[in-house]
Structure formats: structure tokens, C-alpha cells
Structure 1
Amino acid sequence: MGDATPAKEHILILLPLPPNEEILGGIKKKHPGVTIKYVTLSFSAVFGLEPHNVPDGDFLEATILVTLAVLPNDIKFLKNIKLIHLFSAGADKVVDTPVWNDTKIPITNSSGVHGPQISEWVILQILANNHKQKLLLEWQKKHYWGKHTEVGWVRDYVGQRLGVLGYGAIGRQTARLSKALGMDVIAYTASPRTTPESKRETGYTVPGTGDDEGVIPSAWYSGLDKASLHHFLKQDIDVLLIAVPLTPQTHHFLGKEEFEILGKKNAFIVNIARGPIVKTDDLITAVKKSPKEGGLRGAALDVTEPEPLPEDSELWDVENIAVTPHVSGLGDTYADRAFAILDINLTNLEKGKPLINVVSRKKGY
């Protein structure tokens, strides 16, 4: 008998999750010859709080690396790697590493996997604010049957405008749900989207969700300069969804000037992107102002600066600000979808087709 057929790819998976044998078995069955080494790491190791202790030889043997942020200490151990697949949507954990700066290894991300659950969290927050859910829960705890006048009239979202700052998978699915509520949607992207082709989603989308053709927004805006951003924010926005990646261009992208513009419509701010995109003190000041003073209606933050949010942060106690501990993307389908992207790209590698969800080193996402 001759030698066994050599493995086409050797995948090294470094994640803080136990292996799902059904998913891994499906990948092996669909891609004969692929071998997989799965290493379950602690969250502390994944986020650099303790050494990861993955042997250099494991990196050296691999041709594809699947990771959240764990990389070898020396890029020479990645000399056989042809693809790094990030289990996160953002790439900010690997930006400014030697892998990013000193190699040309393609990096793909898991953008699109949590569009459904994060968009549901967004809708939950804007409805909870509108319907005084925090107050009603307090009443329930006190067994208090409050008066209608204490709740006040609710203005539903029909006819209100959602501004989506960053029209990716999360923004597109939120737009879809908001449209069902009767809202108008406008989109903002870094680069112009003036043609039907440019408005299409090219990355991973959970089937049956989103806005693949980019037809939901009634208008599109673009740019990374303040003038372009301010032009967008002046479009009578009632709810602003922050869904842009954190890059040097978007660091503290929204502060006093921007909140003053949005305050003219008493807008509500939702941030599911990254905390440092927003100047926290400016947001607190804007929410504390009354509508007559040009204040914001409120905010819902799943991300903060810093994280974890310190116990003594004022954000916890501002009446119209809801804070959750970066949990909007949690979902029992996360791993299935992130591995689905890897599966698609394995097929694309085999067929010589372009990879999906490729991170641009120039853009940072």
C-alpha cells in the first residue's frame, strides 16, 4: 500500500470554548484530508491576562489558525499559515501586532455571526426606554400599581428615524427590524455607496436576515471627516445606532459637538460597537440635560470605556442610561456561524475563489 494522502490543511483552533464535535466532524467530512487540533484556553489566556502556553510547534505545524487573539510570540512560527480566522467581529485585538504589520497572511473575521442577537438587543433597549420598562420593573418589585399619569404617553416609533452609523451586518439587521416598526432608516458608511453594487453586503450574513441588497435605507451618507459626520447627524435622527469598528479614525468619534446636534431632536443613542468611540463624560452631560436644553433622550450602552466599567463610574446611575456588560452578542449559535465562515473559506481556498470576511489592514477592519 502507498503512503496516505497528506492532509490538505492542518487547522489549529485556540478558543475559550469546548470543542463541538458535530461541527468539527462536519468540517472534516466536507473537506477530506483536513486535520484539526483543538486547544481549549481560559478566557484569561485568550485576553492576555496570563500566558497561553500553546507550544510553538503547534503554530509551526498549522496551515490555518482559528483564534480570538492568541498568536505566537514570534511570527516565524506562522511560516506555514495561509489564513488566520478570527472568532471575533473586530480585529482591534490583533492590530499593531507583528502578524498585522510584518506579514501578509490573510485575516478573516466573524462579522455577521451576531447580527440577529445584537439587533434584538438594540430593539429591546429602544423599546424599554420608550415604554418606561425600568420604572415598571421597579413598580413590580414594590408591588405598586402605578397611575397612568405616572407613566405618561408613549410615542411609538412609527415615523421616527434610525440613523445607522456603520451599515454592516448588525446595522442591516437592525434596519430590517426597525423598518418593521415603521421607522425610516438612513445609513452611514466610511466610503460612498452610490451604486446598487456598492450597497450590497459582501460578507457573511445569517440566512433570512439583514439587507443584502442595501435597499432599506432611504438615504446613504459617508465619510470619516467631521463635516461629513455632522451632515449625517443633522438629518433629524431620533435613534442613532453606533455600529462602526474602532479604528484611529473612529476613536472618540462622538463627543460634545455631535451630541449637541443630536440633542436638537432629543435623540436616543445605542452603542454596541466599542466604548472608546464615544466620549463618555460628554455623553453623560448630554443625557442629563433636559429636552429644552437640547439634551439627549437617553442611551443604551453594551460597551464602555473602560471595560469592565468601574463600580464608581457615574454611568451606572444616570437615570436614562442603560448599561450592560458587553453581552449583546452572546448566543448559542455564535460558534456554529463563526465556523460556517471558516467552512465557506475552506471551500473557497480549495476552489481558488476569493475569501469572504477579509479584514483590510489599511482600514483596520
Structure 2
Amino acid sequence: MIVAATQEILARHQAKILEDTGEQVYIYPSLEQIPQPIADKTEILITYGITLTKAEPQPLNLARFPKLCWIQILSAGLEGLPVSEIQKRGILVTNAAGVHGAPMSEFVVYCMLHFSKDMERYQQLKKEKRYDRTKLVGELEGLEVLIYGTGTIGQAVARMLTLFKVKVFGVNTTGRAVEPFIETYTLAQAARKLATADYVISLLPSTPKTRGFFSREYLARMKNEAVFISIGRGDVVDEQSLVEMLQQGRLKGAALDVFEREPLPPESPLWDCEHLILTPHMSAKSIYYIDRCVDIFIQNLLAFRSGGSMLNVVDFARGY
């Protein structure tokens, strides 16, 4: 039995899965609302990973599914998953890597144009009802962009930025060459390039090696005219240090879509920062998000039933 524990899987998705695979998906609003007789029969679960840890004591809600052999999570990150229990039971996990490229690339371009075209100034001029053409704006062409993370999303962002004739450099764990980056660096080597980059983009996942990576000392290596964009995982960034740099004019600006704590608490100083684009973990989301997730699930379901190769099988040793 296949069960989806989210109302984001709509009736039309249910119909598409049935048409393409011949299998029925039963939809419930949440894990907690799945009746136990249904949970007892569930072999395949479609859900957001974070829902698997809501019950106390953890991972009580996962224990409700004795026949579970595969979880398709509707996100790329693995934060919150009861990994030890999943591994102990030998449950296969696949994620939604690959669905984020288009919306996140567009988000990055928007943020870069926002700062290069000085849109905050124009918004202020509008409030003042003042028509002022005295200050010229910049262009993206020829700027240096350093992207931390050269996986599927990083490559998609880089490809889009090359259309603007931007010089795109990448950072990954080994420094291996990846298209379409001009050059790639290890995390240690990237510190040198950080000092010349006009835009620094973090797509880093949350792993023991990356948490707190963008520390006060590391961020201080960026030039004053640079913009920092974080759309990977929030706990890789020292938010307080970033706030202080923005307040002191040590950066041209920043854009944060992910945070150390989510939802971002009302008392966070980020809310009051100038020259900061702040969005609620939405850079990857669009009206087509679940459609793309369902396409991946259908391909995986056909492979799962036939013994073929599946997409996006999670390697817990690597953390993604």
C-alpha cells in the first residue's frame, strides 16, 4: 500500500500516479491522521522528512508502520529524519533532489539584480514620491560569483548565470571540475577566491562539516561591495555575525531564505536589517514543485517494482 501524508499531493497527482503506474495512492493530511489499520499495511510512504520526528518519544510515528520499506521525501534535505531507526530497519529513502533547479536559479538572479540595479533605492524614492535619475546602477556582466555547492542545484544556478555573462566559480568537497563552472575549489581553497567574489552563494547542505561554516572570521574575508546569498541550509551561517556586518556596512547586502531556526522567531535581529532580502524558505517552491516531485516518484515507483535503478537514493554516510 502507498500512502501520502500531505495534502499537497492532490487528486490530480493521485490520478496521474494511477494512470502511469497502475497503483493507488491513499492521501491523508498528516502522519498522525493515518488510521492504524492503514499504517499497518503501508509499504511506501510519501511525506516531508520533518514529519517523521513530530511524535514523542521519537521516532514513535515511524514505528506505526511495521511494513514500511521505502520513504519518498518531498525535500532534498535530511534534517530531522530518524536516521538510526531508518538504517536499523533497512528502509530505503529517496529525496526530491533535482526539482529545485529552476525556481532557485530564478531566485538567485532576482536577488542579484535587486542589488545590482539598486532596487532598494528606487523603492525608497517611490515612498518619497521623488523622481531622481542622478545615480547610475551596475550590471551583472563580468561579475565574479562563487557558489558553495556544485551539485544539481549549483549547476542549474551556474548555467543560468552564464547567460548573463557572469564569471561563475564553484566550491565542493574535493575541488573536482564540474561544468559549467570556470574553476572549482575545495572548501579550504575557496577562502582565497572569497576575497574577490562580487556575489557569494551558499547551497551547502547541513552536515557535521558544514554547520557554522560561514563563521564571523570566514565572512570577514568577503569584500565590502559583496553580496551574500544563502539558500542551502541555515545552520551553515553565523547569523549574528552577518547581522553585524550588514549594520556596519561591511557588506553591500545579503539575501537569506534559510535560517538557523525556522520559522524565524520574531525577536531575530534579521527582521530589522537593511539591505537584506528575507524570504521564508521559499526559494525552491513554486506552483510546479509537487508536480516535479510526483514525476520523480512515478519514475522511482516503476523502477522499485521492476528492480531497476532509482533516482535520488539517499546516502546517509554522505548526508544527502
TM-score (norm 2): 0.89
Q: Partners in 1 of 2:11 and 2:62 — Cα distance?
A: 30
Q: Partners in 2 of 1:316 and 1:27 — Cα distance?
A: 42
Q: Partners in 1 of 2:117 and 2:77 — Cα distance?
A: 32
Q: Deviations over 1:130-188 (max 9, x none)?
A: 11112212222332212x33xx3322121111111112232222111211111011111
Alpha-carbon deviation of 1:55? Answer: 2.9
Secondary structure of 2:25's match? strand
Aligned pair 1:272/2:231, yes or no?
A: yes
CA contact (8 A) 1:167 1:189 kept: yes
Alpha-carbon deviation of 1:298? Answer: 1.3
CA contact (8 A) 2:17 2:25 kept: no
- 2:88 is matched with 102
Q: Partners in 2 of 1:191 and 1:348 — Cα distance?
A: 31
Report the CA distance shift for 1:237/1:302 in structure 2 as closer, same or farther (over 3 A).
same
Counterparts of residues 105-184 of structure 1 (less than 5 Å): 105-146=91-132, 148-149=133-134, 152-184=135-167
Alpha-carbon deviation of 1:27? Answer: 1.6
Alpha-carbon deviation of 1:311? Answer: 2.9
Q: Partners in 1 of 2:79 and 2:36 — Cα distance?
A: 23
Q: 217, 225, 237: which is aligned to 2:181?
A: 217
Q: Partners in 1 of 2:206 and 2:158 — Cα distance?
A: 21
- 1:361 is matched with 316
Identity, in percent, stands at: 27
CA contact (8 A) 1:108 1:356 kept: yes
- 1:26 is matched with 16
Matched positions, count? 313
Q: Partners in 1 of 2:82 and 2:204 — Cα distance?
A: 16
Alpha-carbon deviation of 1:217? Answer: 0.4
- 1:254 is matched with 214
Alpha-carbon deviation of 1:77? Answer: 4.1
Alpha-carbon deviation of 1:191? Answer: 3.8
Q: Partners in 2 of 1:289 and 1:55 — Cα distance?
A: 55
- 2:267 is matched with 312
In angstroms, what is the RMSD of aligned CA positions? 2.2
Secondary structure of 2:181's match? coil
**Following superposition, which runs of at least 4 residues in structure 1 exceed 6 angstroms of deviation?**
none
TM-score (norm 1): 0.79
- 1:200 is matched with none
- 1:285 is matched with 244
Q: Partners in 1 of 2:13 and 2:62 — Cα distance?
A: 29
Secondary structure of 1:241's match? strand
Report the CA distance shift for 1:96/1:106 in structure 2 as closer, same or farther (over 3 A).
closer
Alpha-carbon deviation of 1:228? Answer: 4.1
Q: Partners in 2 of 1:57 and 1:250 — Cα distance?
A: 41
CA contact (8 A) 1:13 1:39 kept: yes
| Structure 1: gaps (5+ residues) | 1-9, 47-51, 195-213
Alpha-carbon deviation of 1:262? Answer: 1.6
Q: Deviations over 1:12-58 (max 9, x none)?
A: 100142x42332222212223x23211123xxxx7xxxxx2433332
- 1:93 is matched with 80
- 2:55 is matched with none
Q: Partners in 2 of 1:181 and 1:192 — Cα distance?
A: 24
CA contact (8 A) 2:120 2:275 kept: no
Report the CA distance shift for 1:94/1:232 in structure 2 as closer, same or farther (over 3 A).
farther
Q: 289, 303, 313: which is aligned to 1:348?
A: 303
Q: 31, 39, 43: which is aligned to 1:59?
A: 39
Report the CA distance shift for 1:238/1:102 in structure 2 as closer, same or farther (over 3 A).
same
CA contact (8 A) 1:92 1:364 kept: no
Q: Partners in 2 of 1:75 and 1:312 — Cα distance?
A: 34
Aligned pair 1:37/2:37, yes or no?
A: no
CA contact (8 A) 2:17 2:298 kept: yes
